[in-house]
């Protein structure tokens, strides 16, 4: 049963798709983000320091690490030959926009003997680079930073690379992204929006979700500003006329989920939910009514914990940014959301906030191994969003599923199989409602008890890891004790939409 809430005026026919597309990282709303960073690509192959002479200690089998990880959709993203365990990122800013200075310290383990290796990095001037404390040579090749250590790195060795740099944060433009991504700025402050491959415009990295790592952040900014980042605030110290803020993300995180907010923001204490600290970061001019709407977060978190298991991180909240970036993004523990969505459309905000929070379990804690597995992010978050939409009384889940089922043939015609998107359709309806529909069909096939056991097991078993569609299919079959090969062949690996079971 549901009450007579004016859901048809809140969500008129045809609004569902628009909401879900916006809830992803799609749809441009141009003209509101002020980019001060020049969009120029770095010069190709410009040596900043001279490569060292080969050392006699170089292992005989050392060779360069590869420039990519072989991702079929984003082949240049990520780099071969090592696995990052930790990024320690230190930034200094003078204003809400303009140049920055930074040092990224990257701890990684070599998976092969490395004579050199790549980092994904765009823009900036590199002022120093070391590997294990010794000066290293660097070379640029497009968005690749090639580091040649003074001494080759043995396979299995853990090594630390430090890169210092300065300049205007560059925009990252990619056909797979819904707009400019990277470290963006608006009148009241900077914020990060890096999905799928914009982290390279913020710090040198292995910019691929298959290589998750721990993070610490140090942000030095004028004392009049507020800084925030993923994870927990672990220190705040005056530094002359500036303040240094330190944050720690103690659970693994994919690079595209980095958030760094610096500017005229307020921090709102939202209390706790089951030991999870709720804190929001909002533009200072946000009115009181809008601030109070953030309280819904606590109800949403409790609702999803009942369905999926304990929230995976120590803290959660929303970053309400001044200029609409035209999308909300589930940056780990601190979801980016345009202020206008919160201020102008409470129901829309409520539904999108549920979607982004659900990504904490599906996308952030359990991340895609390849970008073609994006339905494991967006389908799950959209299905969670449907459940919240139903729970909150806006629309029934059954109606949402029927609506998606009616449109799915068109989506499959245009975009193909759910588990095989093109790079330009990562954030299309096939991966949102079209993939949520797959989960609904699975629920109807194996029943509620097995379905929610599958969701909880999926999170519990793979929390902190990166996963594939094959792994989900295997887990669903195992937990439900059902042969689902025919089901997944029809629903995930076909362009024909089957009838809904039952
Ligand atoms: Zn999403």
Tell me, in angstroms, the distance from the centre of ligand 1 to residue 153's CA: 39
- For the segment 32-47, the average pLDDT, to the nearest whole number, is 35
Tell me, in angstroms, the distance from the centre of ligand 1 to residue 363's CA: 8
Tell me, in angstroms, the distance from the centre of ligand 1 to residue 107's CA: 30
* Element of type H or E holding 487: helix 485-491
Residue 487 placed within a domain: yes
Residue 411 placed within a domain: yes
Residue 212 placed within a domain: yes
Residue 387 placed within a domain: yes
Residue 323 in this model has a pLDDT that exceeds 90: no
Tell me, in angstroms, the distance from the centre of ligand 1 to residue 268's CA: 24
- Of the residues 358, 374, 389, which one is the last residue of a structural domain? 358
Tell me, in angstroms, the distance from the centre of ligand 1 to residue 55's CA: 48
pLDDT category, 502, cuts 50, 70, 90? confident
What pLDDT sits at residue 138? 98
Say if residue 164 is in the same domain as residue 279. Answer: yes
Tell me, in angstroms, the distance from the centre of ligand 1 to residue 261's CA: 20
Instruction: Specify the pTM.
Output: 0.89
Tell me, in angstroms, the distance from the centre of ligand 1 to residue 436's CA: 11
Q: Backbone phi, then psi, for 271, in 5-degree steps? A: 80, -155
Helix H segments across 312-432? 339-344, 346-358, 375-391, 397-415
Helix axes 448-462, 469-480, angle to 10 degrees: 130
Q: Say which residues have a Cβ less than 8 Å from residue 435's Cβ, sequence separation at least 6.
A: 375, 378, 379, 380, 382, 418
Tell me, in angstroms, the distance from the centre of ligand 1 to residue 177's CA: 13
pLDDT digits (tens, 9 = 90+) for 357-384: 999 999 999 999 999 999 999 999 999 9
Tell me, in angstroms, the distance from the centre of ligand 1 to residue 281's CA: 20
- Of the residues 309, 327, 358, which one is the last residue of a structural domain? 358
What pLDDT sits at residue 21? 37
C-alpha gyration radius of the chain? 23
pLDDT category, 179, cuts 50, 70, 90? confident
Tell me, in angstroms, the distance from the centre of ligand 1 to residue 354's CA: 10
Higher pLDDT among residues 60 and 85, named by residue: 85
- For the segment 399-423, the average pLDDT, to the nearest whole number, is 97
SS3 for 103-170 is EEEEEEEECCCEEEEEEECCCCEEEEEEECCEECEEEEECCEEEEECCCCECCCCEEEEEEEEEECCC
Tell me, in angstroms, the distance from the centre of ligand 1 to residue 454's CA: 20
Say if residue 264 is in the same domain as residue 371. Answer: no
Nearest to 319 by CA among 238, 263, 255, 274: 263
Cα separation of the two ends of the chain = 21
- Rounded CA-CA distance 175/62 in Å is 35
Mean pLDDT of the chain: 89
Tell me, in angstroms, the distance from the centre of ligand 1 to residue 101's CA: 31
Contact between 348 and 375 under an 8 Å Cβ cutoff? The reply is no
Tell me, in angstroms, the distance from the centre of ligand 1 to residue 488's CA: 22
CATH number reported for the structural domain that contains residue 371 in this entry: 1.10.390.10
Tell me the residue range of the domain where 456 lies.
364-491
Residue 10 in this model has a pLDDT that exceeds 80: no
Say if residue 348 is in the same domain as residue 378. Answer: no
What pLDDT sits at residue 58? 59
Contact between 159 and 136 under an 8 Å Cβ cutoff? The reply is no
Residue 17 in this model has a pLDDT that exceeds 70: no
Beta bridge partners of 238: 243
Residue 2 in this model has a pLDDT that exceeds 90: no
What pLDDT sits at residue 32? 30
pLDDT category, 23, cuts 50, 70, 90? very low
Q: State how beta strands 276-283 and 315-316 pair.
A: parallel
Tell me, in angstroms, the distance from the centre of ligand 1 to residue 131's CA: 37
Say if residue 205 is in the same domain as residue 232. Answer: yes
Q: How many residues does the chain have?
A: 502
Nearest to 364 by CA among 330, 337, 328: 330
Domain count, the chain: 2
What pLDDT sits at residue 36? 32
CATH number reported for the structural domain that contains residue 245 in this entry: 2.60.40.1730
Residue 15 placed within a domain: no
- For the segment 25-43, the average pLDDT, to the nearest whole number, is 32
């Amino acid at each position: 049963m549901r009450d007579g809430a004016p859901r048809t005026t809140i969500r008129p026919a045809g609004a569902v798709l628009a909401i879900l597309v916006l809830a992803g990282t799609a749809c441009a709303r141009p003209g509101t983000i002020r980019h001060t960073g020049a969009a120029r690509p770095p010069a190709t192959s410009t040596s900043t320091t001279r490569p060292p002479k080969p050392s006699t200690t170089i292992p005989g089998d050392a060779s360069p690490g590869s420039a990519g990880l072989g991702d079929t959709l984003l082949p240049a993203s990520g780099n071969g030959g090592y696995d990052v365990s930790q990024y320690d990122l230190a930034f200094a800013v003078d204003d809400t926009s303009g140049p920055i200075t930074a040092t990224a310290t990257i701890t990684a383990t070599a998976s092969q003997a490395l004579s050199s290796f790549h980092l994904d990095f765009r823009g900036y001037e590199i002022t120093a680079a070391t590997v294990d404390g010794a000066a290293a040579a660097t070379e640029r090749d497009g968005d690749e930073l090639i580091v040649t250590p003074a001494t080759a790195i043995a396979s299995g060795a853990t090594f630390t690379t430090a890169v210092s740099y300065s300049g205007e944060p560059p925009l990252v433009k990619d056909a797979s992204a819904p707009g400019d991504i990277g470290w963006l700025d608006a009148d009241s402050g900077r914020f990060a929006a890096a999905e799928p491959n914009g982290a390279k415009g913020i710090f040198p990295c292995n910019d691929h979700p298959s290589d998750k790592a721990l993070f610490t952040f140090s942000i030095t900014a004028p004392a009049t500003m507020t800084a925030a980042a993923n994870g927990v605030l672990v220190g705040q110290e005056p530094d002359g006329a500036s303040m240094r803020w330190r944050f720690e993300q103690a659970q693994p995180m994919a690079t595209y989920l980095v958030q760094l907010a610096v500017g005229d923001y307020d921090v709102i204490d939202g209390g706790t939910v089951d030991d999870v600290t709720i804190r929001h970061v909002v533009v200072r001019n946000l009115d009181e009514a809008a601030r109070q709407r953030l309280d819904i977060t606590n109800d949403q978190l409790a609702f999803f914990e009942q369905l999926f298991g304990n929230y995976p991180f120590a803290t959660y909240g929303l970053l309400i940014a001044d200029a609409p970036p035209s999308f909300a993004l589930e940056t780990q523990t601190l979801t980016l959301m345009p202020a206008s969505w919160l201020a102008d459309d409470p129901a829309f905000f409520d539904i999108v906030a549920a979607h982004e929070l659900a990504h904490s379990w599906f996308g952030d804690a359990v991340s895609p191994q390849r970008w073609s597995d994006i339905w494991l992010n967006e389908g799950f978050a959209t299905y969670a969003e449907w459940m919240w939409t139903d729970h909150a009384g806006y629309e029934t889940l059954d109606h949402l599923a029927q609506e998606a089922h009616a449109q799915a043939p068109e989506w499959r015609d245009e975009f193909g199989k759910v588990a095989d998107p093109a790079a330009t359709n990562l954030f299309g309806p096939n991966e949102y409602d079209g993939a949520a529909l797959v989960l609904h069909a699975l629920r109807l096939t194996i029943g509620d008890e097995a379905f929610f056991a599958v969701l909880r097991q999926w999170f519990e078993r793979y929390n902190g890891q990166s996963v594939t569609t094959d792994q989900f299919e295997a887990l669903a079959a195992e937990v439900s004790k059902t042969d689902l090969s025919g089901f997944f062949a029809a629903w995930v690996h076909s362009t024909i939409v089957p009838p809904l079971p039952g």
